[in-house]
């Protein structure tokens, strides 16, 4: 009983060298940056370059990366995920347990907590939040899947929350749901339409003060945060017209942090004065989503996908015809991990092992045989034909995404080698978003970020999770539907033994791999850089080889402080840092187009 958001889909050494030279050339010019009015030398203002898309700051409805990352700093969950290893840790609750069947979960709240406006934060706020999602379809858009198994939520007293599930489940049900203040949200007339874009009240380390569309976002410190008041006063998210301008901004000291760098940008910035870099093993996968015959949850078909792609052998042939190792080395320049399934290798327990029998590699002859077996015979021009139709496919990409365009350049000749004509349809991100929602594509470049537990991502690959052509209904990774996969999903969902559950997850991932509804290319490293003369104390998640931005929690910027306390201009250095609060005001000034943090319309925007 939930309504999720839209269907979310979303060259060699010489090539890399040319791109790097072009980048350096562009940085010699003045950066195309939007105007900013805030004091750039404020010692307690952390300035971050971005081009993040924002629809609203409503945690019930927004699923774009920029807002959802912001929610992690605005609202505590009942339980969180640790910075050290992403394991379940304290949040609003300090302890929890479950009955022997795994159906009744009891949480004890942290005593004497307050909302940012000073009002008491109690178990009633948790219960109210969860029940709103369970009872009102318009409030289940972003996270409805997380409460689908809830039977009831009760509060025996102000410090106790009891969640009774319809069926046992292995993953902690208190994860990933932002808890909002009942005394604020219960007075909102139409909460499903509420933008929540100024003077918010929350429990996290900082709160949204104001938002001006396409210009600025300001988050301010929460003095009532239970971990202590932050040492920063602000974070400013600054928008630039392109990602190269963002790189120039950190080199010149106009910003203090940047993430989502391309390999060329990352190499160009290494060694810059007062700039440190970080290569983090991220929680994302990127790959090629294949239109295997889109239909909604009631099996009503839609879209313009090539009928040939309904044949599993054709999809398997496409995978066999791609030299993924070479593609990763050349396009990512080895800033990425080899991939199997859509669960990243950073989650070792759940990721599909490389030696699983389902996993196969680059094999042109195998690809050709699969196409032969599917009835596609080679024509006089080398392109395969069947029933008088050529095997011609469209690959939809973001024209501004270097990784996507370079990927397309490699794919075209590889597909021709096996008899498939591939056309790269590069377009703006708005068009890509619209077309993928309607199913107007054959293949497109996609990417998602995952949390530590695979349950949600598995769920959005089930048949019941598919939306319609307007994006109404569920959320689907690729429009995939296989009843055998669905059965494995249900089994792992209720299996309490971790070892047995991991085996079921692997079976489900192997099924998805075999069906080739998508081709996972790699798990990209998150390439980041920061000004070491300004701030110290950034925390990585996980602590070994982890990322700073886009974490599962509020750790990345929470421990940041000016590198030199006595330096009022904010000069100093950057460090490792544990926990200290984050008082952050995010000011976003829009100028055009660039790279990461959130425009849900490109492949890097899926949370």
pLDDT for position 109: 97
Paired sense of beta strands 206-212 and 216-221, if any: antiparallel
pLDDT for position 425: 97
Q: How far apart are CA 173 and CA 71, in angstroms?
A: 18
Does 33 have pLDDT greater than 70?
A: no
| Burial per residue of 222-236, b for 16 or more beta-carbon CB atoms within 10 angstroms, e otherwise | bebbbeeebbbbbbb
Reading the block at residue 161, the tokens are: 């929350």
Q: How far apart are CA 299 and CA 195, in angstroms?
A: 33
Q: How far apart are CA 59 and CA 70, in angstroms?
A: 10
Cβ neighbours around 457 below 10 Å, total: 20
Question: What phi and psi values does residue 537 have, to the nearest 5 degrees?
Answer: 95, 20
Does 26 have pLDDT greater than 50?
A: no
Q: Which domains does the chain have, with CATH numbers?
A: 26-75+194-282+527-605 (3.40.190.10), 79-185 (3.90.76.10), 284-524 (3.10.105.10)
pLDDT band at 242 (very low <50, low <70, confident <90, very high): confident
Residue-wise pLDDT tens digits, 432-451: 989 999 999 999 999 998 98
pLDDT for position 297: 92
Mean of per-residue pLDDT scores for the chain: 86
pLDDT for position 36: 39
Contact 256, 47 (CB under 8 A): yes
Reading the block at residue 467, the tokens are: 């939306």
pLDDT band at 604 (very low <50, low <70, confident <90, very high): low
pLDDT band at 607 (very low <50, low <70, confident <90, very high): low
pLDDT for position 201: 98
pLDDT for position 491: 94
Q: How far apart are CA 336 and CA 515, in angstroms?
A: 24
Residue-wise pLDDT tens digits, 553-597: 999 998 999 997 544 343 333 333 333 332 333 333 333 322 222
This prediction has a pTM of: 0.80
Residue-wise pLDDT tens digits, 83-106: 999 999 999 999 999 998 889 999
550: left (phi over 0), alpha (psi -120 to 50) or beta: left
Q: How far apart are CA 187 and CA 191, in angstroms?
A: 9
Contact 295, 468 (CB under 8 A): no
Cβ neighbours around 434 below 10 Å, total: 14
Q: Which of 422, 409, 411 is nearest to 308 (CA)?
A: 422
Question: What phi and psi values does residue 284 have, to the nearest 5 degrees?
Answer: -110, 155
Residue-wise pLDDT tens digits, 115-160: 999 999 999 999 999 999 999 989 998 888 889 899 999 999 999 9
Question: What phi and psi values does residue 407 have, to the nearest 5 degrees?
Answer: -60, -45
Reading the block at residue 176, the tokens are: 């990933």
Q: Which of 294, 349, 244 is nearest to 26 (CA)?
A: 244
| Burial per residue of 594-607, b for 16 or more beta-carbon CB atoms within 10 angstroms, e otherwise | bbbbbbbbbbbbbb
Collapsed DSSP state (helix, strand, coil) of residue 5: coil
Paired sense of beta strands 234-239 and 336-338, if any: unpaired
Q: How far apart are CA 485 and CA 344, in angstroms?
A: 19
pLDDT band at 181 (very low <50, low <70, confident <90, very high): very high
Q: Which of 123, 182, 185, 179 is nearest to 156 (CA)?
A: 123
Q: How far apart are CA 239 and CA 242, in angstroms?
A: 9
Residue holding tokens 């489900």?
508
Mind spelling out the 3-state secondary structure of 161-203?
EEEEECCCCCCCCCCCCCCCCHHHHCCCCCCCCCCCCCCCCCC
pLDDT band at 364 (very low <50, low <70, confident <90, very high): very high
| Burial per residue of 190-199, b for 16 or more beta-carbon CB atoms within 10 angstroms, e otherwise | ebbebebbee
Question: What phi and psi values does residue 514 have, to the nearest 5 degrees?
Answer: -65, -40
Q: How far apart are CA 65 and CA 84, in angstroms?
A: 22
Collapsed DSSP state (helix, strand, coil) of residue 525: strand
Q: Which segment of 42-56, 258-272, 283-297, 328-342 scores lowest on mean pLDDT? A: 42-56
pLDDT for position 211: 86
Share of the chain above pLDDT 70, in %: 86
Does 9 have pLDDT greater than 50?
A: no
Q: How far apart are CA 468 and CA 547, in angstroms?
A: 35
Peptide bond into 360 cis (omega under 30): no
Question: What phi and psi values does residue 47 have, to the nearest 5 degrees?
Answer: -105, 125
């Amino acid at each position: 009983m939930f309504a999720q958001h839209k269907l979310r889909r979303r060259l060699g050494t010489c090539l890399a060298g040319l791109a790097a030279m072009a980048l350096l050339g562009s940085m010699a010019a003045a950066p195309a940056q939007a105007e900013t009015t805030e004091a750039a030398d404020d010692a307690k203002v952390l300035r971050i370059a971005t081009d993040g898309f924002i629809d609203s700051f409503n945690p019930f409805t927004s699923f774009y990366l920029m807002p959802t990352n912001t929610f992690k700093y605005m609202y505590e969950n009942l339980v969180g995920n640790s910075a050290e290893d992403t394991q379940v840790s304290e949040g609003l609750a300090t302890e929890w347990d479950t009955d022997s069947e795994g159906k009744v979960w009891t949480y004890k709240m942290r005593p004497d907590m307050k909302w940012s406006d000073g009002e008491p934060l109690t178990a009633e706020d948790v219960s109210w939040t969860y029940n709103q999602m369970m009872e009102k379809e318009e409030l289940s858009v972003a996270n409805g899947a997380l409460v689908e198994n809830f039977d009831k939520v009760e509060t025996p007293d102000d410090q106790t929350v009891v969640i009774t599930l319809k069926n046992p489940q292995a993953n902690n049900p208190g994860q990933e749901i932002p808890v909002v203040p009942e005394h604020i949200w219960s007075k909102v007339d139409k909460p499903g339409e509420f933008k929540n874009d100024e003077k918010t009240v929350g429990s996290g380390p900082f709160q949204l003060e104001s938002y001006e569309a396409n210009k600025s976002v300001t988050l301010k410190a929460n003095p009532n945060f239970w971990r202590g008041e932050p040492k920063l006063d602000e974070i400013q998210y600054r928008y630039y017209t392109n990602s190269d301008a963002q790189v120039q901004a950190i080199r010149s000291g106009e910003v203090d942090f940047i993430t989502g760098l391309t390999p060329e940008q990352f190499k160009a910035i290494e060694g810059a004065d007062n700039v440190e870099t970080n290569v983090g093993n991220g929680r994302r996968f990127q790959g090629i989503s294949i239109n295997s015959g889109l239909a909604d949850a009631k099996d009503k078909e839609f879209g313009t996908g090539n009928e040939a792609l309904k044949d599993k052998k054709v999809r398997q042939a496409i995978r066999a015809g791609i030299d993924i190792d070479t593609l990763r080395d050349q396009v990512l320049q080895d800033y990425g991990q080899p991939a199997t399934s859509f669960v990243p290798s950073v989650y070792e327990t759940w990721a599909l092992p490389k030696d699983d029998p389902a996993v196969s590699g680059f094999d042109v002859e195998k690809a050709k045989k699969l196409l032969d077996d599917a009835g596609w015979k080679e024509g006089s021009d080398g392109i395969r034909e069947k029933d008088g139709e050529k095997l011609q496919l469209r690959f939809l990409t973001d024209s501004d995404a270097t990784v996507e365009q370079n990927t397309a350049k490699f794919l075209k000749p590889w597909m021709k080698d096996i008899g498939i004509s591939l056309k790269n349809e590069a377009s703006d991100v708005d068009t890509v978003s619209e077309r993928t929602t309607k199913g107007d594509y054959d293949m497109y470049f996609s990417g998602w970020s995952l949390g530590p537990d695979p349950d949600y991502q598995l769920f959005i690959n089930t048949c019941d999770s598919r939306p319609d052509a307007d994006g109404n209904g569920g959320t689907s990774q690729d429009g995939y539907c296989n009843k055998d996969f669905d059965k494995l999903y249900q089994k792992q969902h209720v299996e309490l033994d971790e070892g047995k559950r991991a085996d079921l997850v692997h079976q489900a991932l192997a099924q998805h791999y075999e069906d080739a509804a998508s081709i996972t290319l790699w798990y990209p490293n998150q390439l980041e850089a920061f000004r070491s003369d300004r701030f110290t104390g950034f925390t990585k998640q996980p602590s070994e080889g982890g990322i700073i931005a886009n974490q599962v929690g509020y750790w990345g910027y929470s421990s940041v402080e000016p590198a030199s306390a006595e330096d009022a201009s904010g000069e100093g250095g950057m460090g490792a840092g544990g926990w200290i609060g984050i008082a952050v005001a995010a000011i976003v000034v829009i100028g055009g187009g660039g790279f990461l943090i959130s425009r849900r319309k490109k492949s890097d925007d899926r949370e």
